Amino acid sequence: MEDQAEMSFWDHLEALRGTLFRSVLAVGLLSVVFLCIKEPLFKVVLWPGQPDFILYSLLGLDFKMDLINIDISAQFFVHLKVSILCGVVLGFPFIIWEIWKFIAPALYDKEKKSVRKAFGLSSGLFYLGVAVGYFIVLPVCLMFFMNYTVSDQVQNTISLSSYMSLFTSMVFLIGILFEFPTVILVLSSLGIVDRQQLRGFRKYAFVVVLLLAAFITPSDPFSMFVLALPLYGLYEFSILLCKKETPQVEEEE
């Protein structure tokens, strides 16, 4: 007799339902908190458009961006969306913990150690990606597009919705992309990929990184380059995390 009976399909669904419910509840509670602190929240969100932003101060640049609102309900829905987004960002470690609790029983003991390490690394990489997007990529994109005009007769007037769309793609999506080493570490621990395979795909990885950077950024060469550098650095970091070779499958008794 096994120490623990296997779970049925409906037991797995019930466990998944509990995982999703607790994750959504945590994000919902955090979102309510952010809804209640509107002024401090948007002071941080809109800071990259102000002249005292840390990157502009370090580079000695004088940059300022004024936003307008052209939709009567936009400010309310922007506040709601930003609160939910920040709830997901702040609740990310809890979400990862819930996912780990869900999949851990399906792993062998020898697999749990490496996968646990990957899940532990995921939160740090996510917040690193958020920081790179917020402090580097987003302000670089803002400076480029605010200073670019087709004619002196056309002035750049940015709407709040347009800024928030760029903010979301620059900050949240880059945080998600920084999870790539976590995925590679999990696949390596399961024997699916190894270090030699990743080294062989370097030239293809560089092309994929450029395509991802072009998809996330507004496709100007400078912001693409700024984002592509850390993304390719993540690929090289993933190679270091991988095992040297795929382990051989052990013969069953």
Per-residue model confidence as pLDDT tens digits over 180-200: 888 888 888 777 888 888 888
| pLDDT given for residue 28 in this prediction | 96
CA angle 54, 58, 62 (to 5 degrees): 80
Per-residue model confidence as pLDDT tens digits over 7-42: 676 777 888 888 999 999 999 999 999 999 999 999
Per-residue model confidence as pLDDT tens digits over 118-165: 888 888 999 999 999 999 989 988 888 888 888 888 888 889 998 998
- The more confidently predicted of residues 114 and 143 is 143
Contacts of residue 53, Cβ cutoff 8 Å, sequence gap at least 6:
47, 63, 139
d(CA 195, CA 223): 30
Contacts of residue 77, Cβ cutoff 8 Å, sequence gap at least 6:
none
| pLDDT given for residue 220 in this prediction | 65
Q: Residue 21 CB: number of other CB atoms within 10 A? A: 11
| pLDDT given for residue 219 in this prediction | 56
Q: How confident is the model at residue 4 (pLDDT cuts 50, 70, 90)?
A: very low
Per-residue model confidence as pLDDT tens digits over 240-252: 888 666 444 444 4
Please report, as a single letter, which amino acid is at residue 230: P
pLDDT above 70 (res 3): no
Number of H helices, E strands in the chain: 12, 2
Per-residue model confidence as pLDDT tens digits over 58-88: 888 888 898 999 889 999 999 999 999 999 9
| pLDDT given for residue 241 in this prediction | 82
Q: Pull the structure tokens for residue 130.
A: 């958020």
For the chain, give the mean pLDDT: 85
pTM: 0.82
d(CA 99, CA 16): 9
Q: Pull the structure tokens for residue 221.
A: 């060469």
Q: How confident is the model at residue 218 (pLDDT cuts 50, 70, 90)?
A: low
Query: What does DSSP assign to residue 44?
Result: H
- Determine the straight-line distance between the first and last CA of the chain, rounded to whole angstroms: 17
Contacts of residue 194, Cβ cutoff 8 Å, sequence gap at least 6:
188, 242, 243, 244, 245, 246
Contacts of residue 161, Cβ cutoff 8 Å, sequence gap at least 6:
71, 74, 78
SS (H, E, C) 122-186: HHHHHHHHHHHHHHHHHHHHHHHHHCCCCCCCCCCCEEHHHHHHHHHHHHHHHHHHCCHHHHHHH
Q: Residue 63 CB: number of other CB atoms within 10 A? A: 17
Which of the listed ranges 34-38, 206-210, 217-221 does the model predict with the highest average pLDDT?
A: 34-38
